[in-house]
Amino acid sequence: MINKNATRLHVVDALRGFAIVSIMLLHNIEHFDVYFQPQDLPSRMVTLDQTIWDSLFFLFGGKSYAIFALLFGLTFFIQTDHQEQKGKDFRWRFAWRLVLLFGFGLINSVFYQGDILTLYALVGFLLIPFAKMKSKWVFFSAILLLLLPTEWVKLIQGINNPDLSLENPVSWTYFGKMNDYILDGSFLHTARGNLTNGKMAVLHWSWENGRFFHILALFCFGMLAGRKKLFAWNTQNKKIWIGMFTISILVFIPLYILKNNLPHLITSEVIKRPLETIETAFTNISFMLVLVAGFVLLFQTKYGNKVLNVFSPIGKMSLSNYLFQSMIGSSIYYGFGLGLYKFTGATYSVIIGIALAILLGIFCTQWAKKFKHGPLETIWHKLTWINSK
């Protein structure tokens, strides 16, 4: 019998660890943004590589970051609520915490231009005004953000002018330059390129794909989940998670079918582009909820708890692990390191990703036996509460 009182934080830790591991796998098959297919591979290997690529992106592409964002909002509530119980206002301290997170993100960006921490830190400031807002207004605001209002404006404009020519996304220009400093550059050349051209590429891409809106929406939903104590295990919450799992599947199936057929149904690029952005975002969010609800429900079973708990040590050190995997991964695939992007397709890359996850899992387990926080979590915690009694 599982101790339900001890499960709440464990399930959140395990879910966060699951998100980190899935991000690791995706980053590895992408060679940390070096999209290169080795030449002269046997046809069977090419087929296997494509199958692994498609399967991992179906499962985790656009979903892992969403899980991470949801739990970011949940953590914000937990910290804010904990301080409120002591009669303290955590909001200013949280703002300082975001500044520190941005700094960690810049360090991560030295190794990997696709860093998400800087983006979370920037959007995180917009979460602060929601801390004292009534739940119903937070919910309505999150729904509005989830709908991607700017894309609907573009869609309406496209419907009114279907023959209007459309330029390529701005991010393409920046991404097109990345090979100059990643494939065969020195470490300093790569770092400089990641922090300049790479950051602009990611910021433009995130805006073009609605990530700014969805990250803030997921932050809000995570905060609401904390207010409702949704991750505490009881009969009522069990019904909610089962309902969420069922409804999300029913929503995802038609959205996924539409996603695969949309390019063939609409020829006007000015209509198709915003519609694909909206549809892809909804498809990813719906399947993310399938993953989260399924994970929470499975975690409460005897065998599911035993299996999924292996992610908990990784989740407790999510910041450290996120930076570690960027440092190690770029050293494996980039030109300044081993340059394995030339030789590894998705099959070998996912094996490397699994090995990396296992090694980090072992490290986290051993670290947790001696220390309360991970190495970077300790620094973050101490700097967060600097000049505080």
* CA torsion, ordered 309, 313, 317, 320, to nearest 10 deg: -110
Residue 42 forms part of a structural domain: yes
Is position 193 within any domain? Answer: yes
As given in the structure block, the two tokens for residue 79 are 């910290």
Token pair for residue 166?
A: 């459309």
Could you tell me what percent of the chain has a pLDDT over 70? 98
> Which of 113, 129, 84 is closest to 182 using CA atoms?
113
Does some domain include residue 208? yes
Q: pLDDT of 245-266, one tens digit each? A: 999 999 999 999 999 998 888 8
* Long-range interactions of 363-369: CB distance < 8 A, separation 24+: 364/313, 364/314, 364/316, 364/317, 364/321, 365/313, 367/313, 367/317, 368/313, 368/316, 368/317
pLDDT at position 106? 97
| Burial label, 377 (beta-carbon count in 10 A; 0-12, 13-18, 19+) | middle
Any domain includes 33: yes
Mean pLDDT throughout 333-352? 95
Contact 251, 286 (CB under 8 A): yes
**What one-letter code names the amino acid at 231?**
F
| Cβ(224)–Cβ(135) below 8 Å | yes
Mean pLDDT of 46-59: 95
- The two structure tokens encoding residue 203: 């910021």
Does a structural domain hold residue 389? no
Look at the chain and report how many structural domains it folds into: 1
pTM: predicted TM-score of the whole model, two decimal places: 0.93
Angle at 82 between CA 376 and CA 139, to 5 degrees: 95
What is d(CA 165, CA 235) in angstroms, rounded to the nearest whole number? 55
Per-residue model confidence (pLDDT) at position 242: 97
- Its sign, for the CA torsion 61, 318, 67, 19, is positive
Checking if the pLDDT of 2 tops 60, the result is no
- 244 CB neighbour count, 10 Å cutoff: 18
The helix (run of H) or strand (run of E) holding residue 9 is helix 4-29
Whole-number mean pLDDT of the chain? 93
Q: Which domain holds residue 335?
A: 4-384
C-beta separation of 155 from 147 below 8 A: no
HSE, side-chain direction, 13 A CA sphere, residue 200: 14
Rounded-to-integer distance, Cα 239 and Cα 116, Å? 33
Helices (H), ranges, 147-234: 149-160, 170-175, 179-182, 187-193, 199-208, 211-227
Is 355 domain-assigned?
A: yes
Query: From CA 274, how far away is CA 213, in angstroms rounded?
Result: 14
Paired tokens of 121: 């830190």
Task: Mention every residue, 6+ apart, whose C-beta is less than 8 A from residue 27.
Answer: 112, 114, 325, 326, 329, 353
Res. 389 pLDDT band, cuts 50 70 90: low
Reading the block at residue 373, the tokens are: 């926080």
Over the stretch 258-292, which tens digit does the pLDDT of each residue have?
999 988 888 899 999 999 999 999 999 999 999 99
Q: For the segment 104-158, what is each residue's pLDDT rounded down to a tens digit?
A: 999 999 999 999 999 999 999 999 999 999 999 999 999 999 999 999 999 999 9
d(CA 275, CA 278) in angstroms, rounded, equals 5
Residue 79 falls inside a structural domain: yes
Q: Is residue 137 part of a domain?
A: yes
- Residue 79, pLDDT above cutoff 80: yes
Residues 15 and 336: their CA atoms lie apart, in Å, by 34
